[in-house]
Amino acid sequence: MKTRYSYNNYNINTIGWPSLPQPHKKRAREVSYPKSKRKKEHRQRDIDIMDCSWPDTTPFDRRKAADELLRGRELAQQLRAYLQISSTPASQDLLTRILSSFSKTLSILNHRCDSDDINGSIVDSPEDHGSRKSEESGDSCKSSTPNNDRRGCYKRRKSCQSWARESCDLVDDGHAWRKYGQKTILNAKYPRNYYRCTHKYDQTCQATKQVQRLQDNPPKFRTTYYGNHTCSNFLKASDIVLGSSNFDDSCSGVLLSFDTTAAPNFFLPHDPTLVKKEEVVTPDAGSGRDDEAVCSPSDYMSTADDHLSEVFMGSVVDFEDDDLPPFHF
């Protein structure tokens, strides 16, 4: 069975928890697959962009810039507090975008500092990448095979900032994700799913995430984010409803760690009722596979109780939206 996820009203791709896998039928292709070539072009572009050097600023300059950005964001948050009393959805929208912009800039700035990271606040995720110290191989595609099968040729992720989140529901973080892989993990009951930003190629957004189902009943997921979104297709704040959800409080997401200077500011709770529902298939429904749950993107909803914090340069910026009035359409 294959679930076709459609875009929701906000042009946000759904976060497709995989549907039941299809048998992979190998068959000679009857038609050409033009995307393949396109993908390679995009990948080369990615490499070119990533290889470009960061402007010749000292860590101190960057730190000052980051300090200033941080200050600006805090001021914006103060402004938001003022606006709570008599705010319009439009103003909240604007404010959220401003905050988002600050956070993104901070994260981008810090991302480029991960070799001489500011204050050493970037820490590899202990889970998967703490040991990956080596630089990505400049040419990881030195396949010995003479053909053009580039499967498996990739730029392995450099140890980059990551942060994890555990929750019993799945958070719609407002970004468009596309699944690109699934692996069975040793000693893990459920396979791990790999997602990249939909705008990896059109906007060279390097953000990826992994979703690991930890347990069933109650369901528990760990979502680990790597890299930061540089795409501009962040879910419009006006489309994000910050109202409380009906989820059980016990299922509140828990931000496990901030291995980055800019933990995601996109754990914005949605009103599940406003996001289209996808097919939800219970993990064991019929398949019998020891497989991942098939959850709808709307299952990625977080609760309003999610505590959103950001850590930047050792300071913690509380990003909790508890006291925010909900957005309305």
Partner DNA sequence: CCTATTTGACCCAG
Partner DNA sequence: CTGGGTCAAATAGG
Least distance CB 255 / DNA (angstroms): 19
Least distance CB 30 / DNA (angstroms): 8
Amino acid at 92: Q
Nearer residue to DNA within complex by CB, 60 or 142? 142
230 Cβ neighbours under 8 A, 6+ residues apart: 104, 108, 203, 204, 205, 206, 207
Least distance CB 202 / DNA (angstroms): 9
CA 263/CA 78 separation, integer angstroms: 20
Least distance CB 1 / DNA (angstroms): 7
Burial per residue of 146-175, b for 16 or more beta-carbon CB atoms within 10 angstroms, e otherwise: eeeeeeeeebeebbbbbbbbbbbbbbbbbb
Residue 2 · residue 179 · CB < 8 Å? no
Nearer residue to DNA within complex by CB, 117 or 321? 117
Residue 296 · residue 18 · CB < 8 Å? no
Least distance CB 262 / DNA (angstroms): 19
Amino acid at 221: F
Q: Helix axis angle, 89-111 relative to 59-83, nearest 10°?
A: 160
Q: How many CA atoms lie within 13 A of 214 on its CB side?
A: 13
CA 14/CA 275 separation, integer angstroms: 10
Closest CA to 100 of 324, 327, 310, 326: 310
DSSP-derived 3-state class of residue 213: strand
DSSP-derived 3-state class of residue 215: strand
Least distance CB 253 / DNA (angstroms): 21
Least distance CB 158 / DNA (angstroms): 9
CA 282/CA 294 separation, integer angstroms: 6
Least distance CB 187 / DNA (angstroms): 7
